[in-house]
Structure 1
Amino acid sequence: MHKKTPQFFTSGLIGLSLVFLIPLTGNASKTKITNNPIQVTQNNQLVKITGVSLTKTETGLKLNIETLQGTNPDGEILDYDTYTVIKLVNTQLQLSGRDSFSQANPISGVSLVSVTQTSEREVEIKVVGEGKLPRVEELESKTGLLFEIIPETTAAKPPTPEVTNQPPQVKPENTSKKTPETNDTIELSVVGAANLAETAPGNITVIDREQIQRQQARDIRDLIRYEPGVSVPYDTRGGLQGVNIRGLDGNRVNMQVDGIRLPAEYSYGTTRIGRDYVDIETLNSLEIFRGNNSAILGSDALGGTVSFNTANASNLLDILGKNSLTNSRLQYTSKDTGFVGTITQANRFDNLDTLFIYTRRDRNAIQVAGGNNKYQDEQDITRNNFLGKVTYNFAKNNFLEFTGEYFHNIADSRFSPDNLPGMTFEGSTQALREEVTTKRTRLSLGYQFDNLDNQSWLQFARASIYYQDANIQEDSRRSILSRGAIQNQEADKEFIDRVIGANLQLRSDFQVGNIKNRFTYGFDISNTYNERNYFNFNTTSGTRVALPTFPQKDFPDSRTFRLGIFLQNEITMGNDKLKIIPGLRFDVYNLQAEDNLEFIQKNQGNPAVDYAASAINPSLGLTYEISPGTTTFARYSRGFRPPLYDELNFAFRADIPLRPHKGIPNPDLKTETSNNFELGLRSRSQQFDFGVTGFYNRYKNFIERSAFVFFDQNDFGSIPSGGRRIPFQVFQAQNIPDAEILGLELKAAYRFSQNPGGFSIKSALGWQVGNDLTRNRPLATIGPLQAVVGLGYQSPNDKWGAELIGTFVAKARELALVDDQQSVVNGGQPTRKIDFYEPDSYALFDLIGYYNISQNLSLTAGIYNIFNTEYYQYADVRSINTKSPAFEAQRGRYAQPGANFAVGLSWRF
């Protein structure tokens, strides 16, 4: 390593300011980093750090600083009595979901390793010894910078008295660099491969494993609690329904786990089958992509994409620096007397890694604010989740991985007597009990290669094949009073979703003149089978007697083939300030439905409909770095979502007194399309982060799943009224020709200290407006204005931290009155309107915190809804009619928890 004679600080004022920035305890030596340094006087190019990993070796640690394109920053090393500071100039941190990197007590002899942005163009690395100065040496690296950290084992020298204005001592010159040794390592990493949140032309949220645990999230609804513009609708019978992003939910949002699409959401009548198939205890991170990104993530994700990324052994073995890790975690939540227990076992055997995670959950019905639980159904919910992985590492970032996953959830509900009048079953419901069992099995084999230094045509490759089987069984037992007699009935319903598929994503990096290219291309292909069975029995006599017209199918057995071929190129030019990202995706969609006898029996003569569609969908993204740390971006994309099996072949028949009604398939249903526009600005500095995004989306042929179309004068109910035959009301999925959604998203954060830790303020805001332009009325799926503000504190060594968070939700926009088709009597006109419920505004305050008792033992705790506020979430209650006689009961079932607490304990060994 070449040496440079240091400049002396002769000004007392400058020396005093340095004491506040770096608390000197003795003399310092200063060494120039010369591993292909950037000469600042000749090139002021900003170097971006995209990954930091800390690896335990036989002699100490290795600190790997990965930079974009492997560019090397300029800097210097300063040694003090007990710690070393490495200053990197013209450098910026761009880590996934992190402001800094910090690890306390990684090994004996080293008390802290931190990487922090100290100014707009300067990054500081600090290595603190335990009373002794660790040795820090630079090694050769082709991906950025690499340092070896060796703790001092000799006796510590007495502290050297501080002498004002004395020059730091120069290290003895050593012109040779050590070559990194190959050994079995364990890394603690923050990688910027998911650097999307900082560099992509759009608004992306990344929530890592640490945040998941510190937030004590029980499910995805808890996880996005502080994300304005994102919500998770909940149904008291079907559970979590999916994710609403920018006013769109259901199957307009793509949800995937490790790149595998989760089953679609399904609803029919009072049945709501959601998409709660993933236990968050298995996650390494969660990514929320707001808006459509048609090139890689799929054209049918009109609202956005939620990507669950499960942990692997290397993510977890990095924590302790061993080849084996056992981690146990317990958590209790008072709102539903819920217990969670997770056991994790990770091992490394030479090139082979193994991982096993088991989670058990038990909980009951929630305790609502105000103590009025009369509308809360009794519930017992149990869950078992297993995740296993075997990974063979050919080399670093070059591995083959087999994954097995099994999800099993049982929700046993006994309906409150106060809720029974609101049930829609024929007759008067006297009692109702329902058990819903959800299962998902996934097997996948994946390969990944990631090497920026590879001199061939390929720098990244990821491929996988997979099989997934999801099954939901709904068993209900009810007693009804019909025509003066009690009838006991049993209903068994089954929903099946099986998919087999494969995907491939490749990337080639090359340069043409001064223009850099990152060319990504690949495909995904899948074949999905869906089935819905419905059996209904009369058990009054003590035996199971099938009711007339059963068994039935709500939709015909269906097979859906999907193929997507995508191309995208990230073009960088203008001294790396301008990026142009054009993309193109070709989608093929083919739905084949079978005319099952059970479906024909229920549908009475309307044949099942097949559907085929294809489209080429472009996208274009732009980012421009206005100044160091400040970037503006713009994006356009085109969305394409063909109708699903249950939308196209929506069918039912209810021959009830006064109001017979039915649903029929629509062979003329059209594909939804969208044109999506987005513009934003984000800025990141030493202490202040800011981001603003505006978007406008225009939709054609928006699908409304169940719309009244006409009275069928050729089909009449079997029960006349006043001697008059009553025609069936006909419902059908219909296209809304024209709709729009626009909105604004803001985020800001301020850190009071330039060093790791200290006080910080964070805030976020989400606002959307949506309109049905054809009928000139608001879209019901648009959530209200929401803002989140948090005041937090983190100790400098990350020993403990706490945050007070306020969530402020406005009253939702008033929806238009619509005809209540349930008020139709004897085939006449509706006699009343539906006045949809818009809950009042509210404010919630939570206090959450953590305490690292030791390196291996940590405690998390939180108090939620501190002031016991009574409130309802718009996403849950937006379809409730205030004019309904059962309004209070229907709304009361969705009352939210009052003041409650959660506490968790995690230990590893």
Structure 2
Amino acid sequence: MEQRRYKDTLLGLSAEQKKAFQLSDNTEHQVVWGVQFEQNQYQRPISKNIYDWRGTTGLNKDSFADATMLTAAVFIRDQIKWQDWTITPGVRYDRQQLSPTGDANIGGIQINENNSSELSPSLSVAYQFTPALNSYLNYSHGFRAPAYDKTYGYVPHLFNPLKPFIIIPNSELKQETSDNFELGSKYDDGKFSLYAAVFYSKFKDFIEQKMIGQAADKTHWLFQYQNLEGVKTYGFELSSAYQLTEALKLSGKLGLVDGKDGNGEPIRTLTPLEGNIKLGYTVEKITAFSRLNFAAAMPMDRTPKCYNLEVETPCATTGNWATLDLGASYQVSDNFTLYATMINAFNKEFIRYQDVAGIGDSSKSYSTEPGRYFNINANYQF
């Protein structure tokens, strides 16, 4: 019998202020600034009792190192409106300190303190062509500090008979930074709306899970979160809606993310062409919807490399799929609403690529999405 406990303690403080003012008759400013501070304490103990001919044997261990994480941030942003232009410069400073608070050895691996900090500027420029149409160009410098589970985690996955593996800690993991650009346009005349955007990101020390080889006894594989160089991602987002009648509204979304590392290899965090089309119905106290969800296939030339016994083997790919969701709600009173939803109405068997990215093709059968199921709930607001 195995018992896993998660004990997290969070103390935090945040403050934000806004100030609007005018420097001239046609220039408006809205300045936002603030600070954030958090202290997280993590514990992930495992208690295991083994019953056999010798009696009961107790075992206590940790799958993650006990740790304390301190994070702090300060930021300021100014939204400047001048004629038909909106210009928003900003800057943010982040700092994170992650320290082991107990045994600095997890799974036989020594772990150390992990610190990171970064100054992140941003700039957005938007132009209002008409009351219904605007376009914008955004730049932001991204920062992602190494997460607790990726830095101090020792996570066995030995239940998979085809490819047992363990994710081992990496306390030397560096912070991930990026330069991100987005060009987009929005149109909304009250009846028809359309949003389209393309984006491009260039990363430094991209954090990614990698296979690093077999254990010394050859019984399982070892994975670890590491930093990759030269990673670039790009893609697009598209959404639209049209009010067919006062009661009927048709809407849809579509998106795709592609990218490669510095060696020209695809990374795990990609998504195939994916989206949905939704027909909504609203009249008085009744709302209802039908939603078609779909995704294109993820072919082999967009998947990373996988290995089996140190031999390259096909990584998991996925095929085209589509599912239908149905739902309705009824507002019984001003405070009370009933909801009912049927997910995957035709009980379609499918696999989302995001759930199997980077694993062997022979292991993906463990990751099929749920079949048809129902949700019924009530919401009462006092």
TM-score (norm: length of structure 1): 0.38
Counterparts in 2 of 1:794 and 1:733: CA distance versus 1, 3 Å: closer
Q: Does 1:747 align with 2:232?
A: no
8 Å Cα contact 1:834-1:883 kept in structure 2:
no
Counterpart of 2:195?
691
Counterparts in 2 of 1:666 and 1:851: CA distance versus 1, 3 Å: closer
- The 5 Å alignment of 1:23-102 reads none
2:38 aligned to 526, 534, 538, which one? 526
Counterparts in 2 of 1:642 and 1:854: CA distance versus 1, 3 Å: closer
- The 5 Å alignment of 1:793-872 reads 793-795=281-283, 798-814=284-300, 815-820=303-308, 823=309, 830=310, 832-852=311-331, 858-872=337-351
How many Å separate the matches in 2 of 1:877 and 1:667?
26
Q: Does 1:584 align with 2:91?
A: yes
Counterpart of 1:467?
none
Counterpart of 1:515?
27
8 Å Cα contact 1:518-1:569 kept in structure 2:
yes
Moved more, 782-791 or 577-586: 782-791
Q: Displacement, 1:710? A: 8.3
2:274 aligned to 760, 776, 786, which one? 786
Q: Which runs of 5+ in 1 are unaligned?
A: 1-476, 478-490, 718-725, 824-829
RMSD: 3.3
8 Å Cα contact 1:609-1:649 kept in structure 2:
no
Q: Displacement, 1:665? A: 5.2
Structure ranking higher on relative contact order (CA contacts 8 Å, 6+ apart): 1
Q: Displacement, 1:763? A: 1.6
Counterparts in 2 of 1:528 and 1:854: CA distance versus 1, 3 Å: closer
Counterparts in 2 of 1:799 and 1:663: CA distance versus 1, 3 Å: closer
Q: Displacement, 1:790? A: 2.3
Counterparts in 2 of 1:554 and 1:625: CA distance versus 1, 3 Å: same
Counterparts in 2 of 1:556 and 1:847: CA distance versus 1, 3 Å: closer
Counterpart of 2:115?
612
Counterpart of 1:89?
none
Q: Does 1:504 align with 2:8?
A: no
- The 5 Å alignment of 1:246-285 reads none
Counterparts in 2 of 1:524 and 1:748: CA distance versus 1, 3 Å: same
8 Å Cα contact 1:521-1:566 kept in structure 2:
yes
Counterpart of 2:80?
571
Counterpart of 2:47?
535
- The 5 Å alignment of 1:436-475 reads none
8 Å Cα contact 2:178-2:201 kept in structure 1:
yes
- The 5 Å alignment of 1:678-717 reads 678-708=182-212, 717=217
How many Å separate the matches in 2 of 1:645 and 1:727?
27
Highest Rg: 1 or 2?
A: 1
- The 5 Å alignment of 1:146-545 reads 477=1, 491-513=2-24, 514-541=26-53, 543-545=55-57
Q: Displacement, 1:629? A: 1.6
8 Å Cα contact 2:237-2:256 kept in structure 1:
yes
How many Å separate the matches in 1 of 2:130 and 2:237?
22
Counterparts in 2 of 1:540 and 1:879: CA distance versus 1, 3 Å: farther
Secondary structure of the 2:190 match is coil
8 Å Cα contact 2:64-2:106 kept in structure 1:
no
Counterpart of 1:896?
370
Secondary structure of the 1:777 match is coil
Q: Does 1:669 align with 2:173?
A: yes
8 Å Cα contact 2:79-2:86 kept in structure 1:
yes
- Write the letter of the residue equivalent to 2:15: L
CA shift digits 1:625-673 (9 cap, x unpaired): 1111211112111112222344334557999xxx999876546432111
8 Å Cα contact 1:509-1:516 kept in structure 2:
yes
CA shift digits 1:174-223 (9 cap, x unpaired): xxxxxxxxxxxxxxxxxxxxxxxxxxxxxxxxxxxxxxxxxxxxxxxxxx
How many Å separate the matches in 2 of 1:752 and 1:600?
62
Counterpart of 2:262?
774
How many Å separate the matches in 1 of 2:133 and 2:157?
60
- Write the letter of the residue equivalent to 1:631: N
Counterpart of 2:140?
637
Q: Displacement, 1:580? A: 0.7
How many Å separate the matches in 2 of 1:745 and 1:671?
27
Counterparts in 2 of 1:908 and 1:706: CA distance versus 1, 3 Å: closer
Q: Displacement, 1:895? A: 4.0
Counterparts in 2 of 1:590 and 1:687: CA distance versus 1, 3 Å: same
How many percent of aligned residue pairs carry the same amino acid? Answer: 25
- Write the letter of the residue equivalent to 1:492: Q
Q: Does 1:627 align with 2:101?
A: no
Counterparts in 2 of 1:565 and 1:858: CA distance versus 1, 3 Å: closer
CA shift digits 1:66-105 (9 cap, x unpaired): xxxxxxxxxxxxxxxxxxxxxxxxxxxxxxxxxxxxxxxx
Secondary structure of the 1:779 match is coil
- Write the letter of the residue equivalent to 2:317: E
CA shift digits 1:324-364 (9 cap, x unpaired): xxxxxxxxxxxxxxxxxxxxxxxxxxxxxxxxxxxxxxxxx
Q: Displacement, 1:851? A: 4.0
How many Å separate the matches in 2 of 1:557 and 1:645?
10
Q: Displacement, 1:861? A: 3.9
How many Å separate the matches in 2 of 1:748 and 1:867?
26
How many Å separate the matches in 1 of 2:333 and 2:118?
56
Counterpart of 1:473?
none
- Write the letter of the residue equivalent to 1:745: E
Counterparts in 2 of 1:563 and 1:760: CA distance versus 1, 3 Å: same
8 Å Cα contact 2:106-2:154 kept in structure 1:
no
How many Å separate the matches in 1 of 2:294 and 2:71?
41
8 Å Cα contact 1:602-1:653 kept in structure 2:
no
Q: Does 1:761 align with 2:268?
A: no
Secondary structure of the 1:627 match is coil
8 Å Cα contact 2:151-2:225 kept in structure 1:
yes
Secondary structure of the 1:875 match is helix
- Write the letter of the residue equivalent to 1:780: R
How many Å separate the matches in 2 of 1:852 and 1:710?
58
Counterparts in 2 of 1:512 and 1:653: CA distance versus 1, 3 Å: closer
- Write the letter of the residue equivalent to 2:194: F
Q: Displacement, 1:708? A: 0.6
CA shift digits 1:573-598 (9 cap, x unpaired): 11xx21111111111222222461xx
TM-score (norm: length of structure 2): 0.85
How many Å separate the matches in 1 of 2:239 and 2:316?
30
How many Å separate the matches in 2 of 1:523 and 1:565?
4
8 Å Cα contact 2:67-2:102 kept in structure 1:
no
Counterparts in 2 of 1:847 and 1:646: CA distance versus 1, 3 Å: closer
Counterparts in 2 of 1:539 and 1:842: CA distance versus 1, 3 Å: same
- Write the letter of the residue equivalent to 1:610: E
8 Å Cα contact 2:268-2:304 kept in structure 1:
no
- Write the letter of the residue equivalent to 1:805: R
Counterparts in 2 of 1:907 and 1:532: CA distance versus 1, 3 Å: closer
Secondary structure of the 2:150 match is helix
